[in-house]
Amino acid sequence: MITGKRFDESALNNSYFSFIRCISRYKHCGFKEENEVRIVALPTVLNETLINMAKSKGHTFMPEKERKYRHQNGHHIPYIELFNSTDIVLPIDKIIVGPHKDKETRAATLRVMLNKTNIEVTCSDIPYVG
């Protein structure tokens, strides 16, 4: 909380985006062998104020992604589909299903989903503790 001082909103915005760019790349060195690539998608609610501000600076927005929900353990989990077209080819060679009590089932499900690709699906050797 800031009291008695005004804060610079543009500095706050710049700090936020710098933080997001860095934190999405952070990974503990113990997991280096995974050679993982992460995708960070930050949904923006496009309201009239934001749209007008962008227009005044000559910027435009992509259409908002539809928010979808899946149900898990009585909760609604929001998500967006990033790659929902069969025309998109992703540079994925292999998926390693991490430690989980049902990792073999999850791997089998992925194999069915990816049966028309050349993506290898394996299970991690790391034991599930839970």
Q: What CA–CA distance (Å, rounded) separates 17 from 19?
A: 5
Can you give the pLDDT at residue 12?
66
Helices marked H in 5-125:
9-23, 48-56, 103-113
- Taking CA atoms, 116 is separated from 3, 28, 113, 119, 120, in Å, by 58, 34, 8, 9, 11
Q: Where are the domains of the chain?
A: 89-130
At residue 17, the 3 state secondary structure works out as helix
Prediction pTM value: 0.50
Per-residue pLDDT of the chain (130 residues; tens, 9 = 90+): 455 555 566 666 677 777 877 877 777 776 776 777 777 776 666 778 877 888 888 887 777 778 899 998 999 998 888 777 767 777 788 898 988 999 999 999 999 988 888 889 999 888 888 7
